[in-house]
Amino acid sequence: MTARILSKAAAQFALGATGLLALILSMIIGLNIYYGPFMPIRSALIPTFVADSVDLKSATHQAALATHAHNTSLGFGEIVYISMPDRTDRQDAMNLLAYTFGLKLKFLPGVSGADISTKAIPDEVPKRLRLSELGCWRAHANAWRYLLDSNMDTLLVLEDDIDWNPNVKQTFETLSLQMQNSTVRLNEPSDYERANAPYGLDWDILYLGSCKHGGNPDFKNLVQVWDDPDVPDVNHLTKTTIEALKSFGLANVEIGKKRVLAPAYRTECNTAYAITRQGAQRLLFTMSYIGLHGAVDEDMTRLFREGRLKGYTITPPVFSQFRVGGAKDTDNKLPGDPRLGDSINGKGNLRGWNYDIKGSARQSMADTLEVNVWDDYKRVRPETFVGAKESR
Query: Which residues lie near ligand NAG (CB under 6 A)?
Result: 57, 59, 62, 68, 71-73, 75, 77, 177, 181, 198
Strand partners, 177: none
Residue 75 or 189: the one with the smaller Cβ distance to ligand NAG is 75
- Measured between alpha carbons, how far is residue 35 from residues 2, 14, 41 in Å? 30, 15, 8
Distance of alpha carbon 72 from alpha carbon 79, whole angstroms: 9
CB of 77 to ligand NAG, least distance (A): 5
CB of 254 to ligand NAG, least distance (A): 18
Residue 77 or 326: the one with the smaller Cβ distance to ligand NAG is 77
Residue 74 or 141: the one with the smaller Cβ distance to ligand NAG is 74
CB of 310 to ligand NAG, least distance (A): 20
CB of 57 to ligand NAG, least distance (A): 6
CB of 75 to ligand NAG, least distance (A): 5
Q: Any residues with CB less than 8 A from the CB of 82 and at least 6 apart, and which?
A: 108, 109, 110, 136, 139, 140, 143, 157, 158, 159, 160
Of 163, 165, 212, give the one whose Cα is nearest residue 353. Answer: 163
Distance of alpha carbon 240 from alpha carbon 320, whole angstroms: 14
The helix or strand, by DSSP H or E, that contains position 159, with its residue range, turns out to be strand 154-159
What count of other Cβ atoms lies within 10 Å of the Cβ of residue 52? 11
Q: What are phi and psi of 309, to 5 degrees?
A: -145, 135
If you ran DSSP here, which 8-state letter would residue 125 be given? -
CB of 62 to ligand NAG, least distance (A): 6
CB of 16 to ligand NAG, least distance (A): 31
Residue 57 or 378: the one with the smaller Cβ distance to ligand NAG is 57
Residue 84 or 184: the one with the smaller Cβ distance to ligand NAG is 184
Cis peptide leading into residue 316 (ω within 30°):
yes
Residue 108 or 244: the one with the smaller Cβ distance to ligand NAG is 108
- Measured between alpha carbons, how far is residue 56 from residues 49, 213, 221 in Å? 13, 33, 28
Distance of alpha carbon 246 from alpha carbon 248, whole angstroms: 5
Residue 72 or 252: the one with the smaller Cβ distance to ligand NAG is 72
